[in-house]
Amino acid sequence: MEILKQYLPICWFKNNPLQLPNSVLFFQRNLAFYFIVEFFTQANMISPFEALFEVTAETLFTLLFIFLVLTLNKTMHTYVQVASAVLVSENVVAIFGVPVIVWLTVTHDWLSYTVMALLIAWDFALITYIMKKVLAVDLLASLIVSFIYFIATYGAAYMLTILT
């Protein structure tokens, strides 16, 4: 719980992921939570089998993307911290997103779509913030890396699911 308290401020654009604790157990727990929340979300929209496939692909693409970025940046030693920071921020957004997705699918109210768009924007901003800190690049470069991250993870997993 103490480590979580150190990672949570990332969701409010505080703390540098590189200065946070390096805990494999914390990373593993966040990864499991991420998978469960994403599966729950997807399974409410598509068949459980498709959801399992898509979430597995999405999770693998997320971890692979972080691996590739850190390898190219020659900072692989920070993998656990960076992956934990990404997963914590994704998990926090997902916790807020689950009730919004239920609201959205039940009512199709414009306000539910607006709130969902704000959550997606927050998620994008968090990944941008993390990449900016981790790669020590300017805002434009971190925006581009974040855009590629979303295409390479969510977009690729979705396309792979459609193709199978």
Average pLDDT per run of 10 along the chain, which is 164 residues long?
94 95 96 94 85 94 97 96 97 93 86 94 98 97 97 92 86
Q: What is the pLDDT of residue 106?
A: 86
Dihedral over alpha carbons 31, 34, 39, 41 (to 10 degrees): 180
What whole-number distance in Å separates Cα of residue 152 and Cα of residue 133?
20
Q: Please state, in angstroms and as integers, the Cα–Cα distance from residue 38 to each residue in 14, 33, 34, 114, following that order.
A: 25, 8, 6, 20
pTM: 0.93
What whole-number distance in Å separates Cα of residue 91 and Cα of residue 85?
10
Paired tokens of 164: 């199978």
What is the DSSP code (8-state) at residue 74? T
Contact criterion met (CB below 8 Å) for 100 and 112 = yes
Dihedral sign computed on CA atoms, order 47, 66, 149, 128: positive
Paired tokens of 48: 């459980």
Q: What is the pLDDT of residue 36?
A: 94
Q: What is the pLDDT of residue 149?
A: 97
Backbone angles phi, psi at 21, to 5 degrees: -60, 145
Considering only CA atoms, which of 83, 75, 68 is closest in space to residue 20?
83
Dihedral sign computed on CA atoms, order 141, 146, 152, 155: negative
Paired tokens of 154: 């969510």
**Residue ranges of the domains in the chain?**
24-163
